[in-house]
Amino acid sequence: VRTLRDLAAVLEDEARPAAVCRELTKMFEETRTAPLAELAAHYEAHPPKGEIVLVIAGAARRKKRDAPGEE
């Protein structure tokens, strides 16, 4: 939960999509996808149990600026 909160704060410039995958390959496997802030709020209210994998989308590509003298 702290990691999700910290990531949501650091990456606040955009609602970065992420997935919390819990208990992979086991009977109670669960995957929840949402923006980081929403995942942090959910897991604060419902603390997760078990082994967790956190997957975060990469930063959006920024439009490349033309070099001086190029059009």
Digit-coded pLDDT (tens) for 18-60: 999 999 999 999 999 999 999 999 999 999 999 999 999 988 7
pTM of the model: 0.76
Closest by CA to 18, choosing from 53, 58, 56, is 56
The SS3 assignment for 6 reads: helix
Give the CB-side neighbour count of residue 26, counting CA atoms within 13 A. Answer: 12
69 vs 26: CA distance, rounded Å? 58
Residue 53: predicted pLDDT = 96
Residue 13: predicted pLDDT = 61
For β-strands 30-35 and 17-22, DSSP reports them as antiparallel
